[in-house]
Amino acid sequence: MNTTPYLEIKEEVYQALKENRPIVALESTIISHGMPYPQNVEVAKNVEETIRERGAVPATIAIIDGKMKVGLSKEELEFMATSKNILKASRMDLPVILAKGFNAATTVAATMIIAELAGIKVFVTGGIGGVHRNAQETFDISADLQELAKTNVAVISAGPKAILDLQLTKEYLETFGVPVIGYQTDELPCFFSRESGINVPYRVETPKEIASIMKTKWDLGLQGGIFIANPIPKEYSLDFEEIDKTIENAIEEAKRRKIKGKELTPFLLSKINELTKGESLKANIELVYNNAQLGAEIAKEFNILS
C-alpha cells in the first residue's frame, strides 16, 4: 500500500500502477447517496468484479477519516454503504473534509481529482451532474462540468442524469472544450433512457477509437477530460417521455419542500424510484454494469497506446 499525508492507495491498485496495468476509477456517491442498502454494496462489489473479469483493476474512491482512499477493502465498502455520517464531497469540500478528518463519498468532480492524483486516466460512473432545469433562475450547475474542463480523466457514463437540462449541459461542455462522444450512438443518452432527441457531436464505434482520442488530446497538451456517453442497454431503457413526466413531478415536489443544493439529486433519484415502482433503480444498476464493461475495455486500449 502506498500512503502520503492525504492519499492512500490500496495494494492491488498500487501494484497495477507500478506494473502499468489498466485501472478503472469508480466513485462512491452512488454507494452512500445513490442507492439503498443492500443494493448499494452489492452493486459496488459487482461493478468491481465486472472490471476485473475484463482484465482491468477497479479503484473505488472515497474519503475515510480524512484520507483519500484509492481502492477500498470489503470492510470499507460496507462502511460507505451503511454509515449515516457520510458527507458528499466535490472539489470545494476536499480541503475542509481532509483537514477535519471527516468521511465522505466522492462526486464525479472529486473522484476525477483523486484519480488524477493517483495517475488513473479512466473513470466509470452512472451519470454526470450538469446544468439543472431552471438553472437560469437557480444557477444550479454541477461542479462536475468544470472538472471535466480542467482535469485529465476520461469519464464514461450513461449520459447526464435525466433530472438535468440535457441541451444546456451539452452546450456547457462544448463551450469549455470538453469532447462529447457517443459510444455507438448519434443521440445523447439521458441516463434511464437511450433517447433524448439531442445529437452528440461525435460518434465512435470502438474502445480503441476512444483511447486514441484520449491520447491525442493529452499529447497536444489540451487540458481537461473527455465525456463518453454510453447508452443504457435497450432491454433496460425506460420510455423517454414517461420518465420525463415522472422527473417533472419529482422536481415539483422538491420545489414545494424547498429541497435544493447537494440534497436535490439524492431526493429526486429516490422520488423517481418511488414513482416508477423500482424500475428506475433497476435501470440505474444495469447502466452502471454496462459502463463498467466499456470502461475496462477503454482502460486496456489506452494502456496499450500509452
The number of folded domains in the chain is 1
Question: In this structure, is residue 73 part of a structural domain?
Answer: yes
Q: Single out the residue of 194, 265, 178 nearest to residue 230, CA to CA.
A: 194
How far apart are the C-alpha atoms of 228 and 163, rounded to whole Å? 19
Question: In this structure, is residue 160 part of a structural domain?
Answer: yes
Helices and strands: H and E segment counts in the chain: 13, 12
Is residue 58 within 8 Å of 16, Cβ to Cβ? no
Question: In this structure, is residue 80 part of a structural domain?
Answer: yes
Along the chain (306 residues), what's the average pLDDT of each consecutive run of 10 residues?
A: 87 97 97 91 97 98 98 97 95 98 98 98 96 82 96 98 92 98 97 95 98 98 98 96 92 90 82 92 96 98 96
- Per the annotation, does 121 bind a ligand? no
Q: Which residues pair with 114 in a beta bridge?
A: none
The pLDDT value given to residue 1: 66
How far apart are the C-alpha atoms of 156 and 302, rounded to whole Å? 14
The pLDDT value given to residue 279: 94
The pLDDT value given to residue 262: 74
Question: In this structure, is residue 100 part of a structural domain?
Answer: yes
Catalytic hit among 8, 10, 27, 116: 27
- Per the annotation, does 244 bind a ligand? no
- Per the annotation, does 108 bind a ligand? yes
Question: In this structure, is residue 161 part of a structural domain?
Answer: yes
The boundaries of the domain holding residue 125 are 7-305
The pLDDT value given to residue 34: 84
Residue 208 annotated in active site: no
Burial of 9 per CB tally in 10 Å (0-12, 13-18, 19+): buried
Question: In this structure, is residue 58 part of a structural domain?
Answer: yes
CB proximity list for 175: less than 8 A, separation 6 or greater: none
Question: In this structure, is residue 1 part of a structural domain?
Answer: no
Catalytic hit among 161, 170, 271, 300: 161
Residue 83 C-alpha from the chain's centroid? 21
- Per the annotation, does 88 bind a ligand? yes
How far apart are the C-alpha atoms of 42 and 279, rounded to whole Å? 17
Residue 27 annotated in active site: yes
Q: Single out the residue of 88, 95, 82, 116 nearest to residue 28, CA to CA.
A: 88
Name the pTM for this structure.
0.94
The domain spanning residue 253 has which CATH number? 3.40.1790.10
- Per the annotation, does 158 bind a ligand? no
Question: In this structure, is residue 89 part of a structural domain?
Answer: yes
